[in-house]
Structure 1
């Protein structure tokens, strides 16, 4: 006799030892002789389990397996789900909270699949008393942050259809996928699949993982060396479970699919801890997920490792020795600005200085630096935190980003009154940064007096050393980059043929390309007059500034990068 699981038991039959498919009916009957042990789950657990299926956290098959497992081992549904690795450890399943006056839609009866399984809970004598309204559930919460809200839940069963999307029978598409990912997809093991994707991304040196919903599947892409690459596709029903699991792990509301959400996961791989920053965004086919991978214990890069040319390094070191003033780092998203800022902090950090930073988020933990996290919920943005820092007797302040007029003014005021300030802005080059600050309505005298230098930068892919080869340059491309035409005939440029080491891209790793605009008297005068950015650039070049374009051209000449890559990133 199969022992009851809570107050319910699986009906024995010829196929009682066979796991039903998600399209077969699971026959349930109420055992009137069974008395609920306080340690056994009530019907609440099964209702919650069915909701987890509807939310995509687990599949119908997984819920059925968990019920079987719970009967065989005499454990609760929660413990069964955890033991089978369908849920992470630490999840709390709410119990004893079903009431008749809350605001959740009743579960409908069905004839087959998970619908029949759940619907039959209310049939055969199991339905609540007729005089009571349909059983409804109050909002639940768990220690991991997933919630069943007070909003009405959708019905779980109609006409014998399963609760998961009608994509469960889709066969795995033929895709070019790494073997580790292929095995996880074919096994359908959601925890293993999510972990395999993240581990493979780390192996590939990916900075971001994209889960892109489409009509029948999710496309998975890795951003490696600044560019996205297709890695695999996941059938839609499995992808929904992966997305829901990721949201569960970073304490997002897994019910909410119409609003963007942000969260974080701590992931360990190869004895290293990685912070995974998760962002969700609703789209026409479902939720798009982007996961930013950050090595929490990566070593910081020093100034001598950024890729500066000797003349540039000399100018920058002179700026960093100044007791006060503002140094800005400008460039598009993903151009390495934060890495440069941390190298600045590392070069000026000293026991004799009070070094502070306000960041969003804190990328690296630095000994000796008082780091503050922006917290919008506590109404502490960059400007509010910066004001408070100025009362902390700072010598050096790093501002993660200048986003508005107020932050720019406070930072420049600090620079004028004895503090060395570092920050970033989004701009195409150094001279454009000045125009952008004028657009923030920052007074010209503050800009001219507070700024001591602007670093414009890009990240350039390096040609793979394992498959690099040389060839004569294309003359049109050579001239487009601004290189002397008379050098083209005798010059040799490098490119990568593609190999397994670089995933057949021809590039492996990146380095920086920089231009450094030093604010001297002539440039200061142009800032005071609000001169156009082109005039500022021309004046800086006349005084010997190495522009981004010339820096990239020198990387081509030096055999660091290819002509095509140089043209791709040149502003």
Structure 2
């Protein structure tokens, strides 16, 4: 007991010892977080036998560490004036503000409104040696918008964290949060992630409109998706393959809109739910440690589903549940991070899929990418792409099933326009690849099975129609053809 007392000689005066479970309740945190805080020596603890014990005063002191107080003297008043003037020039009016707190709130509102007006899907705030870098992802491409004074970094981040329900005092651990904002009569959901870096906290805000866009295979405007319709009429597994930000979620939702929700029980397992679909029972991973993909998938199978959507097949257990459901009479539609159809099959085999089970369950893989749409008012004839590059694209396109007419002309944004200009919105490229047992056998045996040529052919079809540029087709399909 003397050793125990000595180990707390520098602790606060409150001597009450708490058990591990009591500490969890006081801190309102998870076991993994508490173990991490112990390992990082952010919280003091002592082992009594095999059990951890915590002095209540130590935990109270940890909880009492407040954020750095932002006072008027810590920020140059000219910093606010400069940024508000920039927002005014950009067409984002700012309300009058007197206190530092109200100025910070007004600046954050202005940045969010500006990002939404620019039709950004993501807002990135990164501290650098030169200042607070503000970037937007627009049409899938990152653009730097502004460099703000570094003195604004902490107050802006603290304001965002508070809005999203995160702890402003916690700067040592990653955090996630959500909130919403009303702009011009529309409501937008904001999903935030904060991560500590060597220069301070980096923030990413994903921006979602609540209005449900037009969904369905016809709405996506790709003739190639007609080949997918027969696969949606019978049980089995359909994979939607592509990298991050390639349009997988939109295609998954569009598949569900093709199915009669009144005549079928449709369930989803998502992380997170990005759109609320009428007639569909949607579940979300997270919130509690036990709400994992595999746990929710198993539970959904006890709900007598006709159709089950899985946002992503990431591990062996989830894949096995999906294959078992597909073999048992359920239509399973799932996303997977893979470049093309052969890559998707290889990924399932790497996760431990039985080849015979895979042959009996997997029906098709849909390869998907997003390319920027040319602005009809700004596009110009492409005279700079070398003929040998165009010739190579024609050869690969023919291999994918589309022969480019000799009279075809290609268009591009003006070469002297600003980065990102010349495009407006995005369109999807889709290739439906039926999966056959011989194809799976060839992949298992390590034989050459090429993928992506059909996807590139779809891109060339869109380029010939003057909807996108050759540069975009190459960017989107590089590595998959």
Using the size of structure 1 for normalisation, the TM-score is: 0.66
Of the three residues 471, 474, 481, the one matched with 1:564 is 471
Alpha carbons 1:335, 1:459 under 8 Å: kept:
yes
Of the three residues 305, 312, 320, the one matched with 2:232 is 320
Q: 1:220/1:355 Cα in 2 relative to 1: closer, same or farther (>3 Å)? A: same
**Separation of aligned partners in 2, 1:186 and 1:481:** 56
**Separation of aligned partners in 2, 1:181 and 1:138:** 50
Show the 5 A alignment for 1:236-315. 236-309=150-223, 312-315=224-227
Where 1:535 maps in the other structure, the secondary structure is: coil
- 1:493 aligned onto 2:410: yes
Q: Which moved more, 1:334-343 or 1:252-261?
A: 252-261
> Once the two structures are superposed, what CA deviation does each residue of 1:178-197 show, in whole Å capped at 9, x if it has no partner?
52488759977211211111
Alpha carbons 1:181, 1:197 under 8 Å: kept:
no
Alpha carbons 1:430, 1:515 under 8 Å: kept:
no
Show the 5 A alignment for 1:395-414. 395-414=306-325
Aligned to 1:198: 112
**Separation of aligned partners in 1, 2:255 and 2:73:** 51
- 1:209 aligned onto 2:123: yes
Alpha carbons 2:92, 2:113 under 8 Å: kept:
no
Where 2:467 maps in the other structure, the secondary structure is: coil
Alpha carbons 2:67, 2:169 under 8 Å: kept:
no
Aligned to 1:535: 448
Query: Cα distance, 1:498 vs. partner?
Result: 7.9
Aligned to 1:451: 362
Where 2:461 maps in the other structure, the secondary structure is: helix
How many pairs align? 414
**Separation of aligned partners in 2, 1:229 and 1:352:** 45
**Separation of aligned partners in 2, 1:504 and 1:551:** 23
**Separation of aligned partners in 2, 1:411 and 1:237:** 50
Query: Cα distance, 1:204 vs. partner?
Result: 1.1
Larger Rg: 1
Query: Cα distance, 1:232 vs. partner?
Result: 1.2
Q: 1:386/1:171 Cα in 2 relative to 1: closer, same or farther (>3 Å)? A: closer
- 1:526 aligned onto 2:439: yes
Aligned to 1:346: 257
Aligned to 1:373: 284
Where 1:537 maps in the other structure, the secondary structure is: coil
Query: Cα distance, 1:440 vs. partner?
Result: 0.1
Query: Cα distance, 1:533 vs. partner?
Result: 7.0
- 1:505 aligned onto 2:416: no
Aligned to 1:232: 146
Query: Cα distance, 1:481 vs. partner?
Result: 2.4
> Once the two structures are superposed, what CA deviation does each residue of 1:196-239 show, in whole Å capped at 9, x if it has no partner?
11111111110000001112421111100000111112212223
Query: Cα distance, 1:383 vs. partner?
Result: 0.5
Query: Cα distance, 1:491 vs. partner?
Result: 3.7
Aligned to 1:62: none
Where 1:304 maps in the other structure, the secondary structure is: coil
Query: Cα distance, 1:507 vs. partner?
Result: 0.7
Aligned to 2:460: 553
**Separation of aligned partners in 2, 1:154 and 1:537:** 55
Of the three residues 416, 440, 460, the one matched with 2:351 is 440
**Separation of aligned partners in 2, 1:460 and 1:154:** 43
Where 1:305 maps in the other structure, the secondary structure is: coil
Q: 1:180/1:526 Cα in 2 relative to 1: closer, same or farther (>3 Å)? A: closer
Using the size of structure 2 for normalisation, the TM-score is: 0.78
| Unaligned 5+ runs, structure 1 | 1-99, 104-136, 141-147, 157-161, 539-544
Aligned to 1:133: none
**Separation of aligned partners in 2, 1:171 and 1:391:** 58
Alpha carbons 1:185, 1:193 under 8 Å: kept:
no
Q: 1:283/1:173 Cα in 2 relative to 1: closer, same or farther (>3 Å)? A: farther
Q: 1:549/1:503 Cα in 2 relative to 1: closer, same or farther (>3 Å)? A: closer
Q: 1:232/1:186 Cα in 2 relative to 1: closer, same or farther (>3 Å)? A: farther
- 1:389 aligned onto 2:293: no
Alpha carbons 2:67, 2:168 under 8 Å: kept:
no
Alpha carbons 1:209, 1:223 under 8 Å: kept:
yes
| Unaligned 5+ runs, structure 2 | 1-11, 16-56
Aligned to 1:516: 432
Query: Cα distance, 1:425 vs. partner?
Result: 0.5
**Separation of aligned partners in 2, 1:154 and 1:292:** 25
**Separation of aligned partners in 2, 1:238 and 1:183:** 19
Alpha carbons 2:443, 2:449 under 8 Å: kept:
no
Aligned to 2:51: none
Q: 1:516/1:154 Cα in 2 relative to 1: closer, same or farther (>3 Å)? A: closer
Aligned to 1:334: 245
